[in-house]
Chain A
Amino acid sequence: MTSGPILTRRQLGQGAAALAILMSLPSGAFAQTGPIVIASEDDVSTLDPHLIRNNHPIGSVVWSVFDSLVRRNADGTHEPRLALSWEQVEPTRWRFKLREGVTFTNGEKFDAAAVKYNFERMNISPFNTESQLWPQTGLTAIEIVDPLTIDLVTSAPTINMLYWLEEAFIGAPAHLKDTPADVAGAKPIGSGPYVVTEWLQGDRVVLKANARHWNGEPAIKDVIFRDIPELSSRINELKAGSVDIAVGLTPDTADGANSDKSKAVAVAGLRKMHMGISCNGIEPLKDKRVRQALNYAVDVKTMVETLLGGQTKPIASIVNPPNNNPDLKPFDYDPEKAKALLAEAGFTDFEIPIAYGRYPAAKEASETIAAYLEAIGLKPKIEAYEPGKFVEMIRAKAFTGIYYYGWASLINPSVELVILTSDAVDNSNGYNNPDYDALVKKASVTLDDGERQKLLTAAETMIWDDCPWIYLWYLPALYGVSNRLDFPVRPDDYVEIYRAKLKA
């Protein structure tokens, strides 16, 4: 028995040549005609329309598959969707005219009863932990006037009805009623611009355009939301042309998305990054002058330029644009003034804990700020927290010094200001200012737009000067976007794929 070589030299040569040809293929070899692929860090854990745990990716998919009565535009204006029009017939009664002839993708009819069923589902456990419609608007009753007219009754006049309706999505009622919750979450049926055709959990959600959508079929026919946790892999996919939108880039990696196939797109987000200053912790921080001193001590502008690559801007108010008071300006960097304020308050060299959890660049930001505070004579002590523990500390108002936090992707002055009122569940630093509380509460029941704006501006101006935070910057939202795509990015993280188009 002789054992000859398995491959002849000639065969080997042919193989090598074939391999060489394969490897020298131009990088555009994979034609870009397939579906639009969106790559995100997080997994889509559920597609129950009433369990939207994050704006992206869950929110982005839900916005594609379901419709709401009203949709929030990128600039905060309200777009009629399943509602055609609305009016406040009484201070505590909102009346909505519904769109006629809309069907869910399983053939069920959309009408006032569907709205009522969905809204009532939002008010039961576990959906009421995510759906905020009832507690935030003071909703008490839903009354069907006729099949295409519905009244929402609130316990007190509310100005935030439309805002919260924009997060209240309507699913096919019989489907929601008849299927167990875990199946309903896995097999979403809505009336939105897309339908889910395949969902491999932890891998991808495949969407197809809904040809019978009331607003016409969207321009992009096939969409895939993929879960790619590793940032460098998202960027590599983009460069390889196999992903069209890479979500969640960071300032130091964004440049990697600039290739012959794609570019990095930055938009100053709406999440206001700040150092929350505990008002129920160490003594010095209860003094307004000390809190102002901290703001004068930190050079936010330089941090934005260096740490964040200039991809965002310092916040100039607790209210997001365009509703903010334009007269307010970020604090100047003035360490001398900071020292003077500290001396005036009688607290010059105290120890100050700095806590951080999970936000991008949290460690770097905390360390830089610690250095600035050291420069005015304080003794900063940095503490890193496991993200879950951090959230618990926030909820318990348990931080005693300052903590790196972000709040929040909102475009609604009333909602934004209410978080710092003393009895708000999400007031995380124990800030308690009765004058401020009174202004915000009064505004929330003032229906006259001009009057309310005056109250809100007064509250906004008061709190800016009172410094419950060290004001930092808007968390930049960074995307890598394929050159073949026209895609309007939003500052609040939602990916509205039905508004995207392929370039000609």
Chain B
Amino acid sequence: MSYLTKRLFRAILVLLGVSFATFMVAQSTGDPIALLVKANATEEARAALTSHLGLDQPVLVQYGLFLWRAIHGDLGQSFLYNQSVVGLVADRLSNTFLLALSAFAIALVLSVTLGVLAALYRNTWVDAAITAFTMVGLAVPAFWLGLMLILVFAVIWQVVPVSGSEEASSLILPAITLSMQSTARLCRLVRSGMIEVLNADFIRTARAKGLFEGRVVWVHALRNALLPVVTMAGLELGDLISSAVVIEAIFAWPGIGRLAIGAVSSRDFPLLQGTVLVSAFCFVVINLFVDWLYQRIDPRVRSA
């Protein structure tokens, strides 16, 4: 089996494991009917709803049905919304992706630029300023940063909306907030990678050949310094999707994180399983993509 086929096989196992774990953990939290209906609903009404939702079946039968339908692209009906989980998740997932990918783009551009600058101007005030920036970026909790950005840019200056998703500019603050931690982490990685590579023999050779410094730094050095960054960036993207949960709440961004929180607190099992499974799927795909990218950048992995 080739490297990628092996990874693909493992990915399917991971998804199966996740679906089973989510299903069982959700079931163990208690009876969703208690949260779903009014306190004074009659016993008959409760019983009818229980059987309508299929909750009177043995747990393993429920899981089997869930799996069978999932393979056919049907994740069931949300208890709370009375709508198909696939539709709900698809709507929200695109919003979360938009947010996470915007943050990811900001993080990549900022971290590579700042990281390279810090490495080039090592031990000068530029380096010190960038290092200080990354320290602050790492130390400041995202929710606090979000609230401060809202206060300054949305309440005092009013150049962007406080929250929501109605206008395109609504994306700016949540994306910046979300990107901050990743920017800081990646920036430090780029900096140390670049410092190491810039001291390598092949860079000295490149410079000796008379190549432009720009080409030496941005092509020869950066390409080699990026290898650990790619792995890390893959993890960061997954991290961004999960961190989006907090950011979505602060900025009232209608993403999958808020859907998942609602599903947990109301014990909406199908919706909970749907959001977790889809998120897990995204993680797995991102990891597969990183593996593939790894091969492209570093030919040594291909033969491994």
Contacts and interface: CB of A to CB of B under 8 A. Distances in A.
Interface of A: 1, 3, 22-25, 27, 29-30, 43, 45-46, 48, 51, 53, 125-126, 128-130, 132, 135-136, 181-182, 185-186, 200-204, 226-230, 232-233, 236-237, 239-240, 242, 386-389, 391-392, 394-395, 419, 424-426
Nearest to B165: A203
Contacts of B164: 203-204, 226, 228
Contacts of B226: none
Closest 7 CB pairs of A and B: A125-B48, A129-B37, A202-B254, A203-B254, A228-B252, A128-B45, A129-B41
Contacts of B267: 388
Contacts of B40: 132, 135-136, 419, 424-426
Contacts of B254: 200-203, 227
Contacts of B290: none
Contacts of B39: 391, 394-395, 425-426
B212 interface: yes
A230 B249 contact: yes
Nearest to B38: A130
A299 B144 CA distance: 36
B125 interface: no
Nearest to B31: A392
Nearest to B152: A23
A375 B39 CA distance: 35
Interface in B7-36: 29-31, 34-36
Given A3-B214, A125-B52, A182-B84, A236 B252 contact: no
A30 B154 CA distance: 11
B92 interface: yes
Contact of B162 (A51, A186, A227, A236): A236
Contact of B258 (A24, A45, A200, A229): A229
A182 B82 contact: yes
B83 A186 contact: yes
B41 A239 contact: no
6 contacts: A46-B81, A128-B48, A201-B91, A229-B258, A386-B29, A388-B35
Given A201-B88, A232-B147, A388-B35, 8 more contacts: A25-B159, A27-B158, A46-B82, A128-B48, A181-B82, A202-B259, A426-B39, A426-B40
Interface residues of B, number: 56
A233 B157 contact: no
Given A45-B81, A426-B40, A236 B151 contact: yes
A129 B162 contact: no
Q: Point out which of B164, B254, B259 has the most chain A C-beta atoms below 10 A from its C-beta.
A: B164
A204 B166 contact: yes
A167 B98 CA distance: 40
Contacts of A230: 163, 249-252
B250 A45 contact: no
A30 B169 CA distance: 15
Nearest to A389: B30
B153 to A, nearest CB: 8
Contacts of B159: 22-23, 25
Contacts of A203: 164-166, 252, 254
A50 B245 CA distance: 31
B154 A229 contact: no
Contacts of A29: 158
A389 B265 CA distance: 10
Nearest to A124: B48
A185 B82 CA distance: 8
B159 to A, nearest CB: 6
A129 B32 CA distance: 13
B28 to A, nearest CB: 12
Given A182-B82, A236-B155, A242 B161 contact: yes
B34 A228 contact: no
A182 B82 CA distance: 5
B262 interface: yes
B42 A128 contact: yes
Given A129-B38, A426-B40, A388 B265 contact: yes
Nearest to B154: A240
B82 A48 contact: yes
Contact of B30 (A24, A27, A201, A388): A388
B71 interface: no
A147 B88 CA distance: 41
B252 A182 contact: no
B77 interface: yes
Contacts of B83: 182, 185-186
B296 to A, nearest CB: 28
A331 B46 CA distance: 39
A19 to B, nearest CB: 9
Nearest to B29: A388
Contacts of A45: 80-81, 262
Contacts of A46: 80-82
Contacts of B259: 202
Contacts of B272: none
Nearest to B37: A129
A44 to B, nearest CB: 10
B228 to A, nearest CB: 28
B181 to A, nearest CB: 19
B130 interface: no
B120 interface: no
Nearest to A25: B158
A170 B41 CA distance: 20
Nearest to B80: A45
A322 B156 CA distance: 44
A130 B250 contact: no
B30 A202 contact: no
B49 interface: yes
Nearest to A224: B166
Contacts of B116: none
